[in-house]
Amino acid sequence: MFNPIYIFMKSILSLILTALAFVPAFSQRNCGTMDVQDRLLKEDPTYQQRMNEIEDFTEQFTAYQETHGNVRTVYNIPVVVHVVYRTTSENVSDAQIQSQIDVLNDDFRKLNSDVSNTPSAFASLAADAEINFCLAQTDPSGAATTGINRKYVNKTSWGTNDNVKKSSAGGVNPWDATKYLNIWVCNIGGGILGYAQFPGGSTATDGVVIDYRYFGTIGTTTAPYNLGRTATHEVGHYFNLRHIWGDASCGNDLVSDTPTQQTSNYSCPSYPHVTCSNGPYGDMFMNYMDYVDDACMYMFSNGQKTRMQAVLAPGGARASLSSSTACNSSGGGGGGTSCGTPGSLSSSALTSSSATVSWAAVSGASSYTLQYKTSSSSTWTTVSGITTTSKSLSGLAASTTYNFQVMAVCSGTSGSYSAAASFTTTAASGGGTGTCSDNYENNNTRSKAKTIAVNTEITAKISTSTDVDYFKFSNTSSAKNIYVELYNLPFDYDLQLLKSNGSVLATSQNSGTTAEGIIYNNAPVATYYVKVYGYGGAYSNSSCYNLRANTSSSAYRGTENVATALDEADQAILEKAVIYPNPTQGALSVEFNTFESKETNIKIIDLTGKELMNMPMNLEKGNHTIELDLSSLANGVYFINIQQNGSVQTEKLVITR
C-alpha cells in the first residue's frame, strides 16, 4: 500500500544520512593511551609494579637533578615507521613521514617557531627536552634501511587492541623496541587520533600508533590536527608524560610546574582559562599534553622534560635507546661502532645576508655534513663534503633566526646530527627608525647564546620585562684573564658570568644604572657565557646597553664598577679540573692544578646519586693528571666530582662506545 508519509520520512532520513557522510568523523582530539593502559594493566598484573619502580626512579632522578643543577645530555632516538595500509591514501608518502620527523625534532628541541606564542607567564617554563629523532639507517639485522616499513593489509580499521603491532593478526611486529621507537601509521578508526604505550610494558607491543590522517604536515593530514602534534603528544606518553589534567577532575600529572587544571581543553581556548583555582594564569592549555588543536599547542614544561630525561638516563626504563646506533648507516640495529657527533656549535661574522658557523672536530672524521634552515621552516638545506670545521653561509635573509646542525662522516660512515644551534642575521642597512636595534635576538636561553668577539664592544637591548640576553665567548691560553663590562645602562640591569655547563661563576648587581663588571683572572681556557637581565623586570625597548668581554695576558685589577673579582682561592676551585675525552669510551684523564698540598677525592656518580667509584689521594702543590679506567661502566651520563678541602667541582661525563 502506498504511504506518502512513509516515503517522505524515508527521503528525509536518506538526506540526513547523506549529509552526515560529509561531516568529519569527529571534531575533538581523542587519545586512546589511557584506555590502552587500563587494558594492559588488566592483562599483565606485573605491569603496575614496573610502573611503580619507574616512578620511584623518576623521583630520585628529579631530586638529583634539582640538587646538581639539571645537568643533562642530548639523546638521539632511532625511529622506524610501519605504514600498514589498505587504500592509497593510507599509504602515506616518504615526504609525509619525514615531515613528521621534522616536527618531532622541532617540538622536542624547542625549535618550533610557534613557541613564541607561549604566554609570558609560562614562557620561562617552556623547555628544550633535548631529544632528537632520526629515521633508522640500519634494521635489526644490520642491513641498510630507510626506517620506513610498508605492508598492505585488507583491513578497514585497526582499533586500539594492538593487533596492528602483531603479524599474527595481520599487522607488523615491532623492531627491537629496546633500540628503536616503533611508530605504526594506519587507519585506527573509532575517532582515535593516536595512542602510545607507557614505559614498562611489553616490548612485543611497545611504541606509538597514529592515524594516517593526523601524521605529519602534508599529504593526507586533516585540520585541525594537521601540524604533526598528535605524534608529539603520543611520543610524550611514550616517554612517560601524563595528560596535563591528570585524567581526573583537578588531577595530578606528576609534574610540579604544570598548573592543576580541571579537565582537557579543546579547540583554541582564550587565555587565561582559569580552573581549579589556578588563577591568575590558569590552565597551561598550550602544552602538548592537553587536547587543544595542533595550532594551539607549542610547549613542554621543564618538569615534563625531567620526566622524559629520567626514562632515558642510565637505569631508566628506556635507557637502551640512548646507546642504540641505528641512526648510523653502520649501526647494525643498535650495535657496532659509530662516528662521533660534533659539538661546540657556534656562529660568527654575522651580517644581514651571511654568517660563519663552526663546530668542534670529531676524531676520525673525513668530512662533515651541515644542515641549516630558518627557524620557521620545516625544510633543511644540506651542504655535504665539508672538510674543515667551519662553513661560511651566504644569501641569508636579514633579521632572521636560522637553525643549524652538523653530522660527521668517518670513512664513508655517517654519524648522528648534533643538537641544533641557532644564529640571527643582522638587520638590513638603510631605513631604520632612529631607535636602537638588537641584532642578537633570539638569545633568551643559554642554548641560544650568541657568540661575540672578545675585546669588542657590542650593543643590544632588553626589550621586554621577560627578556634575557645570553652571549658566549672563549679565552685562550695566551689571554686567560677575563673582564666583562656592562655599561651605558638605560635602567637597572645586572650581569652574570657562567661556566660552559651553565653554573654561575659570579654575579654583578650594582644598583640603578651603575655599570656592572666581573673579573676572572687566570681563568681555565674554555667557552664562557654572559647573562644580561633587568632587575625586577626593568627594560627598554628603545635604548641599548653596551657589553664588552675582554681577555688579556695580564691580570685585571678591580675598579669601582667591578662588583665581583674572583680571587686566587676561587680560581683554585674553579680551575682545577679539565676532563678529557668527554664523551669517552672508557679511558678518562683528569687534569687539575693545586695551589697547595691538598687531600683530593675523585668520585664517579650516576644520575640517581649512587656512588660508583671513589679515589682518595694526597697530592702536593702543582699540576696533576689522573688516569681513570671506566670501561666497566655502561653507556650513559654520569657525574664526576673532584673534591679538595671541602670544595667540590661537578662535571657531566658521557660514556659512549
| Least confident piece of the model among 161-165, 261-265, 515-519, 642-646 | 642-646
Q: Pick 402 or 521 by higher pLDDT.
A: 402
Question: What pLDDT sits at residue 431?
Answer: 32
- In this prediction, residue 619 carries a pLDDT of 66
| pLDDT confidence band for 26 (50 / 70 / 90) | very low
Closest CA to 528 of 500, 508, 549: 500
Q: With 80 as the cut, is the pLDDT of residue 5 above it? A: no
How many CA within 13 A on the CB side of residue 197? Answer: 27
Task: Give the Cα separation of 180 and 141 in Å (integer).
Answer: 13
DSSP letters for 392-453:
EE-SPPTT-EEEEEEEEEETTEE--PPPPEEEEPPPPSS---SS---SS-S--SGGGPEE--
C-alpha cell belonging to residue 374: 630558518
> 200 to each of 206, 243, 396, 612, 627, how far by Cα in Å?
9, 18, 47, 25, 38
In this model, does residue 513 exceed pLDDT 50? yes
Residue 234 annotated among the catalytic residues of the structure: yes
Which of 52 and 411 is assigned the larger pLDDT?
52
Judge whether residue 330 has pLDDT over 60.
no
- In this predicted structure, what is the pLDDT of residue 14? 45
Q: Is 381 or 239 the better-scoring residue by pLDDT?
A: 239
Max mean pLDDT among 240-249, 387-396, 619-628, 648-657 falls in 240-249
Give yes or no for residue 35 having a pLDDT over 70: yes
Whole-number pLDDT of residue 611: 79
Whole-number pLDDT of residue 98: 93
How much of the chain, in percent, has pLDDT values that exceed 90?
A: 43
Residue 593 — pLDDT band, cuts 50, 70, 90?
A: low
* C-alpha span between 433 and 640 (Å, rounded): 52
Q: How would residue 329 be classed by pLDDT, with cut points 50, 70 and 90?
A: low
Q: Is the pLDDT of residue 480 over 50?
A: yes
Residue 302 pLDDT grade (very low, low, confident, very high; cuts 50, 70, 90): very high
pLDDT, residue 12, reads 44
Task: Considering only residues 559 and 553, tell me which one the structure prediction assigns the higher pLDDT.
Answer: 553
The predicted pLDDT at position 656 comes to 74
Query: Residue 10 above 80 pLDDT?
Result: no
Average pLDDT value for residue range 282-297: 97
Q: How far apart are CA 301 and CA 412, in angstroms?
A: 39
The better pLDDT of the pair 597, 328 is held by 328
**How would residue 587 be classed by pLDDT, with cut points 50, 70 and 90?**
confident
- The whole-number average pLDDT for the span 330-340 is 50
Residue 22: pLDDT above 50? no
- Max mean pLDDT range (184-198, 342-356, 431-445): 184-198
pLDDT of residue 623: 64
How would residue 596 be classed by pLDDT, with cut points 50, 70 and 90?
A: low
**Mean pLDDT estimate for the chain:** 83
Instruction: Examine the pLDDT at 564 and tell me if it is beyond 70.
Output: no
When pLDDT is averaged across residues 100-125 and rounded to a whole number, the result is 93
Of 16 and 5, which is predicted with more confidence?
A: 5
Is residue 568 scored above 80 in pLDDT?
no
Average pLDDT over residues 269-298: 96
Question: What pLDDT sits at residue 8?
Answer: 43
pLDDT tens for each residue of 451-475: 999 888 888 988 888 889 999 999 9
Instruction: Round to whole Å and give the CA distance between 542 and 490.
Output: 9
Residue among 234, 485, 516, 575 flagged as catalytic: 234
Q: What is the pLDDT of residue 16?
A: 39
Residue of 116, 115, 95 whose CA lies nearest to 106: 115
pLDDT at 148: 95
Q: Other C-beta atoms within 10 Å of 302: how many? A: 17
Amino acid letter for position 311: V
**DSSP letters for 192-227:** --EEE--TTS-TTS-SEEEEGGGSSSSTT--TTS-S
Q: Which of 21-35, 214-228, 482-496, 583-597 has the lowest mean pLDDT?
A: 21-35
Task: State the Cα–Cα distance between residues 154 and 171, nearest whole angstrom.
Answer: 10
Please check the confidence at residue 435 and state whether its pLDDT lies above 70: no
Query: For residue 158, what is its C-alpha cell?
Result: 585497526
pLDDT of 84 over the 90 cut: yes
Higher pLDDT, 360 or 121: 121
Q: Collapse the DSSP code of 116 into the 3-class scheme (helix H, G, I; strand E, B; otherwise coil) and give the result.
A: helix
Q: Are 293 and 279 in contact (CB under 8 A)?
A: no
pLDDT tier, 7 (very low <50, low <70, confident <90, very high otherwise)? very low
Per-residue pLDDT at 521: 78
Cβ within 8 Å of residue 327, ≥6 positions away: 76, 78, 134, 136, 137, 416
**More confident position, 367 or 219:** 219
Instruction: Give residue 343's pLDDT.
Output: 78
CA distances from 238 to 29, 36, 234, 411 (A): 18, 12, 6, 35
What's the pTM value of the predicted model, to 2 decimals?
Answer: 0.57
pLDDT score, position 291: 97
User: How does pLDDT run across 346-402, given as a tens digit for each residue?
Assistant: 888 787 778 888 888 877 777 888 888 887 776 678 787 788 888 888 777 777 888
What's the pLDDT score for residue 134? 92
- Tell which wins on pLDDT, 647 or 47: 47
Q: Which range is least confidently modeled, 44-58, 307-321, 385-399, 517-531?
A: 385-399
pLDDT of residue 68: 62
The Cα–Cα gap between 3 and 9 comes to: 10
Grid coordinates standing for 238?
A: 611514550
- Amino acid identity of residue 240, one-letter, is N
Burial class (CB in 10 A: 0-12, 13-18, 19+), 36: buried
In order of their start, the domains of the chain are 33-242 (3.40.390.10), 432-566 (2.60.120.380), 572-655 (2.60.40.3080)
